[in-house]
Amino acid sequence: MALSARNDWLLGSCGALLIISQYVCVREFGSCFFSTEIITLTTTVMILLGPSLAFFASKRLGEKILYLFGIATFITLVSMPLSIRYLVGLSSKFHLEWLSMSFLFLLGCLFCSAYFAIFLPRLYDPSVSFKRLYALELLGAIFGLVLIGASLAVSWQSLITLFWLLVVLVIHLSIKKKILTALALITVCGASYFYPRIDKLAMENYLNNYWYVKNARVIETKYSVIQRIDIVQEADGKAIYLDGVPYYQSGDLHWFNYYISALPGAMLKHKGTALVIGSGSLNSTNYLLKEGFDVTTVDIDKNVAEFGLKYFNAINPKQAKFHLVIDDARAYVHNLDKKFDLIILDTPAPYHLQTSMLYTKSFFEDLKKHLNPGGIASINTCSWHLDDEIGSSIARGATEVFDDITTIQGESVGLTIMYCSDKLPFNTLDLRNELAKKSERKFTVFDKAGLETFLNAANARAHGIKNPIALLALSRMHLPRLKQN
C-alpha cells in the first residue's frame, strides 16, 4: 500500500476509533459511578482534555517515549471495557471510591485518546491539504457512529469486538510490523472470546463491594441504547440494576409494589383504567391486573419491559387488559386524550434529567389532567422521611397541583408514597383499616395539611421544568446516603 493511501486509511481509522472509544468510555464510566449527566459530562471533558494537553507536549516527546505511550494506550483501550468496573469494585472494598474515580479519570485523560494528538500530527505532509486530512478523520468519525448504531442492534459485545479490531487496524497501519499486528490481533480475539465471562465476574465483584450484595450472581446483561441492564440473583431473589444502580430488589419489592399500586388500587371501588409509568419488574402492573384494572404500562426502554416479563412476572403480554407502550412518558402523557382511574408513577429516582422531568410540577399537572374525578395518582417521593431536598421538592410540587393528598410513610419499604387526587375516595382511617388487613403496623399516615406544615418548616420548594439541573445536582449531593440506604 502506498504511503499516502496508508496514511489516509490510518486517519479514517483513527477518527472511527476515537469516536467509539469516547462512546465506550462514557458508557462504562457512567454505569460504574452512579450514572448521571454530570458523570457523562465529566467523562466527555476528560476525553477531550487529553488530546488538548498532549498536543502541546507532542514536540517534546522523543520516539522512545512515543513508543511507550503507544503501548500504554493500547493496553488502556483493550482493558477499558473489562477493567473499569472491576477496579471500582475493588476500590470500594477499601472505601476508596473517590480515589479510584480520580485515578481512572486521570488514566482516561492520559491514555484513552491523548496519544492520537501526539502521533497523528507527525503524519502531516505540508503538500497535502489540511482540509483533506481533517475531512478523512471526520469521515472516519461518522463511520464510527454508523458502527456504533449497527453493532448495538446486535449486542454490546459486537461493539466492543469492533472497537478492539479497530485498535488492531490502527496498530497495523501505523507501526507496519506484522508480528506486532499478529500479537495485537491474538490479544483482542482472546479478550473478545472471554469478554462475557470477565464482564460477569467484574459486575459480581462490583455488586459485592460497591453495593454490599453478598454472593450476587449475574443472570443476564444487556446494553440498550439508554442504559446497561443487569438481572441479578441475590439472596432474597432477583433484582434489576440499571447502569449499576439497584432499581428493584426482591427484599423490598413486595412492600414497595404494595404501597405504590396494590394499596391505592384496593381503595378504589371502581376497577377501571390504570396507567403505570415505568415497567421495571412489572409487579405494579401485575397487582392491578389481578384487581381487574385495564392497565397501560409505558416505558422508554423496551429491554427493561422485556426483562420484567421474562424474569419477574407471568403476565401474558397478549391479554386484553394489558397494553405495553414503549415511549417517552412525558410526551406520551402530554399527547394522550384518555383519562384513568389510577396513575402509578413507578420510575427510578431523579438521577438523570430524563427521570427528573417526571417529578416536576408541570408533569404532575399533566397527570392531574388525565385523572377521572376521584381518581388517584400514586407518586413515589424517592425519600423516606422527606428530610432531604429531593423528596421534599417532589412533595412540594404535588401539594401545589393536587387538591387532596394523603401521604404514607412505611417502614417496611423505607419510602414515602403520596396518593393525590381532586378528592380522594378514602380518608386516613380507611387507609389504616386496609393496612391492618395486611398486618402492617409500622407506618405513618398524614393528610395534605400535615404534609404542607412539614414542608413549610423545611422551606421546601418545587422544582419546575426550568430548573431540572438543580434537582439533578441535589441527587448527586446525596449520593452517599442514597447508596447506604
What domains are defined for the chain? Answer: 3-210 (1.20.1250), 217-246 (no CATH), 249-484 (3.40.50.150)
- Residue 248 is predicted with a pLDDT of 77
Give the span between the Cα atoms of 274 and 288, in whole angstroms.
8
Cell of 50: 487529553
- Residue 388 is predicted with a pLDDT of 81
- Residue 123 is predicted with a pLDDT of 67
Do the bridges between strand 404-410 and strand 340-345 make them parallel or antiparallel, or are there none, so unpaired? unpaired
- Residue 439 is predicted with a pLDDT of 65
Report the interhelical angle of 468-477 vs 37-57 (nearest 10°): 80
- Residue 220 is predicted with a pLDDT of 97
Beta carbons within 10 angstroms of residue 375's beta carbon: 27
Exposure string over 433-470, b if 16+ CB within 10 A, otherwise e: eebeeeebeebebbebeebbebbeebebebbbeeebee
119: three-class secondary structure by DSSP: helix
The pTM assigned to this predicted structure is 0.86
- Residue 2 is predicted with a pLDDT of 52
β-bridge partners, 323: 296
Do the bridges between strand 322-326 and strand 340-345 make them parallel or antiparallel, or are there none, so unpaired? unpaired
Query: Distance of CA 389 to CAs 43, 245, 272, 349, 401, Å?
Result: 26, 20, 35, 13, 18
Give the span between the Cα atoms of 118 and 136, in whole angstroms.
18
Residue whose C-alpha cell reads 401474558 in the numeric block: 316
- Residue 318 is predicted with a pLDDT of 75
318 contact partners, CB below 8 Å, separation of at least 6:
none
Q: What is the mean pLDDT of each run of 10 residues along the chain (485 residues)?
A: 74 92 90 76 81 76 82 90 90 84 83 81 72 88 95 93 95 88 94 96 94 94 93 91 84 76 93 93 89 95 92 78 93 94 89 83 95 96 84 93 92 86 92 78 85 90 59 44 38
Say how many Å lie between the first and final Cα of the chain, rounded. Answer: 60
- Residue 176 is predicted with a pLDDT of 81
> CA triplet 433, 436, 441: central angle to 5 degrees?
120
User: What's the gap between Cα 164 and its chain centre?
Assistant: 24
